[in-house]
Structure 1
Amino acid sequence: MMVYTGVDGKKVFSVKYNPLSRKWSPTSKVGRKICVVPSDLCFVKIEKAFTQKLSQLKGYYQIEISEKFGKVKWDLSLHQGNAIVGVYKNFSVEGCQRVDLELFSLARVLKLLEVDGYVLDLGKRKTTLVRVEDGVLKSYRVLLRGGDYLSSLANPEKPEEGERLKKEKGLELKEVYEGFKKLIDSLNMEEAPVLLSGGGAKLKGIMDFFKKTVENPYCEPTYTSAFGASLAPIVKTPYPDFVQKELSKQELKLLGISFFAGLFVFGFSYFALEKLWSVDRLREVEKAEFKKLFPNAPATALREQVLTKATGEEPFQLTLKLSELSPNLKEGIKIYSIEFSDGTLLIKGEGKEELVRQMKTKMVKRTPLGTLEFELELR
C-alpha cells in the first residue's frame, strides 16, 4: 500500500493507493510528500511542438527559458502533438520528494471528476483560474488579489473588521459583491461548470453567482490543491512531473561521449568567439540578417520567429500584434494587462481622457481620478 501526501503550505491531504487493485482512498497517514508550488510562482506554456523528439525540444526551450527567466526549475512533456512546459522559481523543495505546480494540481481534480470547465481558486492573497478541456489544462489566469482585497473593500480603515464583515455577510455586502464581480469580469470566464476552491469558496452567496457549480465529494474546497497533488502518481495526466529520470547504461555512455565532445566544442567556440566576436556583436549581426530576410517583421524573439518560418508553421502572431499595438499607445498611457488568445490581443489600461480618446478602444470607463480605464482589442 502506497501513501501519497499533497502539501499546499499548511494544508495537507493524503491518499492511500493499492497498485494491484488500482484503488485509492483518503487517509490520515502521511506518506511520500508532493509539494504544491503556488500559482504565482509558476509559468506554464502549451503550444504545438515543432518536433516529437524530446531532446530537440529541451534544447530549444532551454535557451528560451534561460533568456526569459534566468536560472529556474523547469520540465517538459509531450501530449497529442503539443509541448507542455512547466517553470517555477523561488520555491523551497526541502522535505518534498516531488513537486507539482498548483495549476496542474487544480486541473487534475477536474480530470478525476470527469468534468470539463473551470477551477476557480479563491485564496487569501491571489485568485487562480484554471480551464480544463478534454481532461487537460487548456489555459489559466492568476490575479494577485484575493480574500484580503475583498476584506479591505468591506472596511478600508479596519482590515480585521472588514474580514469579519466579509465572513458574516459575504456577497450580501454591496462592496464585497462589486469587488468580487470585478475580479470575475477581469477573468473573462465563459459559461461552463465551475469548481470553487480555496477559502473564498465559503463566501456567503457565492454559489448563486454561477449558473452551474461542481461538487467535489472527496475534500473541502480549502484542500483542493493539496488533494490534486496527492493524486499526481495515481491519476494519469500528461503534465511535466519534475522527476529526475534514471538513465540506462547505454544512455549514460552516450551522455558521457556527448559531454566530452560538447566540452571540446565549447572550449574551441569560447576562445574563437573571444577573439573574433563578443555576444553583443553576434546579436547585432543576427538582428541585421533577420531584417534583411524579413524587413516587415519586428526584430524580437528571433529564434521563435525563424523557427516558425523554417518549419512552415503560422507566423509569430503575438509579435505581429504587438507591433500593430505600438502606434496606438501614447506616452502617459498605463498598461495593466496584456492578453493574447485565438489571435486576438486584448490590452487593459488607463490614461488621460485626451490620450484615450485618440485610440480605437473597445470600452472606456471613467475613474474617480478623472482618467479613463480602457480596453483595446486587436484582432
Structure 2
Amino acid sequence: MIYTGLDGSKSFSISYSPLRKRWYPTHKQGRRICVVPSDLCFVKMEKAFSKKPSQIRDYYSIEVLEKFGKLPWDVALHGDNIILGVYKNFRSEGCYSVDLEVFSLARVLKLLGVDGYVLDLGRRKTTLVRVEGGLLKSYRVVLRGGDYLSRLINPEDPEEGERLKKEKGLEIKQVYEGLKGILSSLNLEEDVPVLLSGGGANLKGIKDLFKKLIKNPHCEPIYTSAFGASLKFVLKTPYPDFVERELSPQEIKTVGVLLLGGFFLFGFSYFGMERLWSVERLREREKTEFKKLFPNAPTAGIRQQVLSKATREDPFQLTVKLSELSPKLKEGMKIYSFEFSDGSLLVKGEGEESKVREINPKLVKKTPSGTLEFELEIK
C-alpha cells in the first residue's frame, strides 16, 4: 500500500506493508494525503467533559458552527482530553484524506522518538510545533517567512533579495535580525531540541542559532510536512483524522435490521431453497422415470430424447445412434469421447484387443500396456 503526503507542490511517498508493519520511501505515487497549511487550521486541546463520542460531537458541532460557521472539523478523544481540529479555505478534491500541518509536523518527532520543537520556516509563514511524550503539546504560527526576509534585504526588488538571502544567509544583517524577531515572537526556548523544517532550514548560518538540533534521516527539511502526512495511517496517533466513523442511533438500528434480514435470507436460500429446488434430486428423478419407460435407451440428453419420443416425427437421431452403440460395447471397455456430426456418431475408447476386434473399429492403435485404442463410427 502506498501513501503520498502532499504539501502544496512538495510530495513524499512511502510503501507500507500492514502485515509486516514496515514502511520504506518510494518514488511511486499512491493515496494522496493533503496537508492543510497551519495558517488555515485551528487546533484546540482541552479536558473532555464526557467519555461518550456522541455527546462530544454534539457539543462541538454547535461550538464550531457558532465560532467558525460551516467549516470542516473533527474531534478525537484521547484519555481524559479531546483534540479539536478545524480548517478553512482548503480544497480537498482529489485527496484520499487531509492532515492538518501541525499534526504532520508533530508526527515526525513521534517517529524519531524525540521530544522538542519542529520549526517550519516557509516562504509566507513560520510554524512552531512543540511535542511532549510523542504528542502535540502546543503550536504557534507567525505570518512571516522567507519572503518577508527577502523584502527586508531589498524592498524594491524582492527577487534580488531572495538571491542574496540564498547566497549569504544570516551573514546579511537584515536576515539575521529578521529571523531573530520571528523566533522571539514564537517564544522559542533555547535549551529545547529543535528539528528544522521547510525551505528556510537551508539558510546559511541558521544552525548556529540553536544549541540542540534534531536530525531527520528520512528526508530533506523541505519535505518534512509531506513526510509526516504520508505516515498518517502508518504511525498511530490520536489526532482527528476527518474520517466519519460514528453511526447515529437511527443508523445503528437500520444497519441491525438490514443485517438481520440478510442473515434470514441467507439461511432461507441455503437450507430452504436447497430442499425445495434441488436440481440434483430433479435430475435423478428424471433418470429413474426415463429408465422405466425406455429401459434400453442410454440416459444421455434425456430432455431431447423425451421430446423426440413424444412427437410423431422420426426419433431423435442421437438416440438411435446411441441405441445402436449400446450392444457393440463390451465389458471393460473405456470410452473417452463421443462426437456426433451430420448423422454420424464417432466413439473413441480403449479396451482389450480381442474385444476391440469384435466391434470392427474404424481405426486402432496399440498402447504400451498391450490394449488397443480405437475409433468406432456408427453411420
Normalised to the residue count of structure 2, the TM-score between the two structures is: 0.65
Shift of 1:250: 7.6
Report the alpha carbon displacement of residue 255 of structure 1 after superposing the two structures with TM.
9.5
CA distance in 1, matches of 2:38, 2:158: 25
Query: C-alpha offsets along residues 189-214 of structure 1, whole Å, 9 cap, x if unaligned?
Result: 12210000000000000011000111
Deviation at 1:80, TM superposition (A): 2.0
1:159 aligned residue: 158
1:163-178 maps to which residues of 2 (within 5 A)?
163-178=162-177
How well do the aligned residues superpose, as a CA RMSD in angstroms? 1.8
Deviates more, 1:245-254 or 1:21-30: 245-254
Query: How many pairs were matched up?
Result: 256
Aligned position for 1:117: 116
Mark the CA change 1:26 to 1:131 in structure 2 (over 3 Å): closer, same or farther: same
Q: C-alpha separation between the residues in 2 aligned to 1:240 and 1:55?
A: 15
Aligned counterparts of 1:256 and 1:150: Cα–Cα separation in 2: 60
Return the letter of the residue paired with 2:170: L
CA separation in 1, counterparts of 2:93 and 2:192? 38
1:186 corresponds to = 185
Deviates more, 1:237-246 or 1:220-229: 237-246
Match of 1:4 in 2: 3
SS in 2 for 1:91: coil
- Mapped partners of 2:248, 2:26: distance in 1: 36
Say if 2:91 is the partner of 1:95.
no
Once residues 30 and 180 of structure 1 are traced to their aligned partners in structure 2, the CA distance between those partners, rounded to angstroms, is 35
* Aligned residue in 1 for 2:58: 59
Seen in structure 2, the aligned counterparts of structure 1 residues 254 and 48 have a Cα distance that, compared at 3 Å, is farther
Mapped to 2, the partners of 1:165 and 1:70 lie a distance apart of 44
Residue type at the aligned position of 1:195: L
Give unpaired runs (5+ residues) of structure 1.
258-379
Q: Percent identity, please.
A: 71
Q: Larger C-alpha radius of gyration, 1 or 2?
A: 2
Q: Distance in 2 between matches of 1:20 and 1:26?
A: 17
Q: Which amino acid aligns with 1:169?
A: K
Question: Residues 72 and 249 from structure 1, CA distance in 2 versus in 1: closer, same or farther, beyond 3 angstroms?
Answer: closer
How far apart are residue 251 of structure 1 and its match?
4.3
Structure 1 residues 246 and 62: alpha-carbon distance in aligned structure 2, compared to 1, 3 A threshold = closer
Residue 14 (structure 2) aligns with: 15
In the alignment, the residues of structure 2 paired with residue 248 and residue 73 of structure 1 have an alpha-carbon distance, to the nearest angstrom, of: 19
What TM-score do the two structures reach when normalised by structure 1? 0.65
**CA distance in structure 2 between the partners assigned to 1:236 and 1:246 by the alignment:** 19
Partner of 2:205 in structure 1? Answer: 205
Task: Output the CA distance in 2 between the equivalents of 1:200 and 1:254.
Answer: 53
Q: Structure 2 matches for 1:5-154, cutoff 5 A? A: 5-154=4-153
Aligned residue for 1:94, secondary structure, equals coil
